[in-house]
Structure 1
Amino acid sequence: MALSRRTFLQAGSAGALLAAVAQEALAQAGIESLKIITGFPPGGTSDTTCRRVAQALTGTYARSAVVENRTGAGGQIAIQAMKTLPPDGTTLLQSPTSMFTIYPHIYKRLPYDPVADVTPVTIATVFDFGLAVGPMVPASVTDVKGFLAWAKANPPQANYGSPAAGSTPHFIPALMAVTQHVDLKHAPYRGTQPAMLDCVGGQIAAVSGPIGDLIQHLPGGKIRILAVSGAKRNRFAPNVPTYSEQGFPELQHSEWFGFFLPPRAAPDVVARVNAALKVALASKEVIDGLATFGLETMTTTPAEFVDILAKDRVKWGPIVKQVGFTADA
């Protein structure tokens, strides 16, 4: 990512000031009920982010807030649902980056315009990805090179799951497979948790997903995390080396979850929602709650968010071309 996490991590001192802004916003907007839409199922990091933020917004931005899981098509259905909704601040979309920065490169036709059909409000959390293996992979495999060697020796079992085809966690192992000349078969799921259940059950060899979705399964002792995708070791999995440490610097990628309004939202609505979300994401309850899922809170201005989206779309173009994946194939 182009932005420094430290620059935008919310300081507690800012919360009190922003809280007053959000309380005033509630009085001005008079919002009775807020709906937050996510394209991923309950139990995962996307859903958790929505629910923590919804709880924090209740009584400050809106009198009540609910989360709606519109799963399917790798997050596309949720985004498509925003196109015709009123941009009055009563409905928000929460989504990862891939649907706006990678999908335009892999789909000839999307059911939404990644620029025109949403109004970016703020980034909410940043996180790294991990590569976890389950009981299908021998215990002697403890690092990425060992996994690649095992995959070469066991082609029928050389597979991995991810939360969606065309997502960042799909492309990290796919890029590794191309550069290392290993045939790794990809299995797309509707979220990371369904993939993890199959991995723990021995139906697939590995899962590439948000680190927070992987560490939840460590206590069971059936999975091992071989690598994380950040520039440095992840504080939620400090004993796991990065891809870069293991000789794969091209696999260094982090991601964000962001909040969006429907298209053509008025500037004053965007400003009110942005202020309310900054309060929510600065609260200790949200910060600590999301940390248990491997997520770090972060906010931006709407303009900064637009700029990040544009730069990430450019960045992913050549990576997609190198991998050679198209969703229409």
Structure 2
Amino acid sequence: MKRRNALAFFATVATALVFCAVAGAQEYPNKPIRFIVPYPPAGGTDVVARILTEPLGATLGQSIIIDNRGGAAGNVGTEIAAKAPADGYHILFTLSSHTINPKLYGKLPFDVERDFLPISLAAMIPQILVVHPSVPANTVQELIALAKTQPGKLNYASVGTGSPGHIAGELFKLKTGVDIVHVPYKGGGPAVIDTIGGQVQMLFVSMPAAWQHVKAGKLKAIAVTSDKRSVAAPDVPTIMESGVADYVVNSWYGALAPAKTPPAAIARLQAAFASVLNQPQVKEKLLAQGAEAAPSTPAEFDRVIKDELAKWEYVIRAANIKPD
């Protein structure tokens, strides 16, 4: 009798626990969600995150709190996110350096595949190849021809060693055989200023950093690095369509959760991103920054990460890129 009562008690408790777990999952989210941005305020990642927080909060019924944790090229904030509770309330919002840093820095206190679950891509933003107006080249092929007549004489700037712009420049060298010299800067502002001033001839940088200066005639646009033309600059060709085979460098922004985050939370967040990124006003705000909304499934985002880890490992090794 006692054994029967005990079994009945435990069965009741188990049922209650299952009910509570299901109820908890159905109620998610029931408190504010923290977006860990591993870069300082006002940078591109922060700007894109802030465009999304209000509509995401409205869709999820909870506020989104931005927590900027810059440092070590994004590695500080990424480590914080990797070690955060896997509860659906701690999300890493980052950019494509997430797949560059592991291959550039080697041993890191986190593993981008093991320690994170992809939620959704948020936006794509091309790098753009611009030159000083005095450079006698208006197309990719003209620039390649010019560089080959002056090996080691032309410089290209980027926002820093291992940045997407640096990777774009080194891939350009590998694909075309030109000998151009990398000049790393600490941020987009100084790199753009020196290219406008003619201290360097070429620059690979994100669209938002350069496009206003292209429109003002201070820089000359040669091509974008993405696989298709930018909606923000439809008249600027891609490097690949300009004759450089298999050349694609897509910079992205996206959200990931710490490993072991409940699948229900991942699904709820992905659905929210899909909804928000299809809103016309959100698309317009992103486009004003030179970015294009790019919602995805977790599986699609995971494929991007895996493909880029392999691709950037090849570029970093072939170009012998070392961290500063």
Instruction: State whether TM-score is above 0.5.
Output: yes
**Structure 2: runs of 5+ lacking an equivalent:** 1-23
Inter-CA distance 77–62: structure 2 relative to 1 (3 Å threshold)? farther
Secondary structure, counterpart of 1:176 in structure 2: helix
RMSD of aligned alpha carbons: 3.0
Structure 1 CA distance for aligned equivalents of residues 264 and 48 of structure 2: 25
Percent same amino acid at aligned positions? 26
**Structure 1: runs of 5+ lacking an equivalent:** 1-23
Deviation for aligned residue 1:276: 1.9
Name which one, 1 or 2, has greater alpha-carbon Rg. 2
Structure 1 CA distance for aligned equivalents of residues 152 and 125 of structure 2: 31
Deviation for aligned residue 1:144: 3.6
TM-score normalised according to structure 1 size = 0.78
Indicate if the aligned counterparts of 1:152 and 1:183 stay in contact, CA closer than 8 A.
no
Moved more, 103-112 or 258-267: 103-112
Secondary structure, counterpart of 1:120 in structure 2: strand
Once the two structures are superposed, residues 81-103 of structure 1 have per-residue CA deviations (whole angstroms, 9 ceiling, x without a partner) of 21222222323212223322x33
Inter-CA distance 157–292: structure 2 relative to 1 (3 Å threshold)? same
Deviation for aligned residue 1:80: 1.5
Confirm whether residue 231 of structure 1 aligns to residue 230 of structure 2.
no
Inter-CA distance 206–78: structure 2 relative to 1 (3 Å threshold)? farther
Aligned to 1:119: 117
Inter-CA distance 66–225: structure 2 relative to 1 (3 Å threshold)? farther
* 1:32-71 pair list within 5 angstroms: 33-71=32-70
Residue 283 (structure 1) aligned to one of 266, 279, 284 = 279
Indicate if the aligned counterparts of 1:38 and 1:68 stay in contact, CA closer than 8 A.
yes
Residue 323 (structure 1) aligned to one of 279, 298, 319 = 319
What letter matches 2:260 in structure 1?
R
Indicate if the aligned counterparts of 2:151 and 2:179 stay in contact, CA closer than 8 A.
no
Structure 2 CA distance for aligned equivalents of residues 241 and 309 of structure 1: 25
Structure 2 CA distance for aligned equivalents of residues 193 and 262 of structure 1: 33
Indicate if the aligned counterparts of 1:25 and 1:61 stay in contact, CA closer than 8 A.
no
What letter matches 1:114 in structure 2?
V
Aligned to 1:78: 77
Aligned to 2:126: 128
Confirm whether residue 30 of structure 1 aligns to residue 26 of structure 2.
no
1 or 2 for the larger relative contact order (CA 8 Å, sep ≥6)? Answer: 1
Structure 1 CA distance for aligned equivalents of residues 256 and 97 of structure 2: 14
Once the two structures are superposed, residues 5-46 of structure 1 have per-residue CA deviations (whole angstroms, 9 ceiling, x without a partner) of xxxxxxxxxxxxxxxxxxx98954212x33323233444432
TM-score normalised according to structure 2 size = 0.79
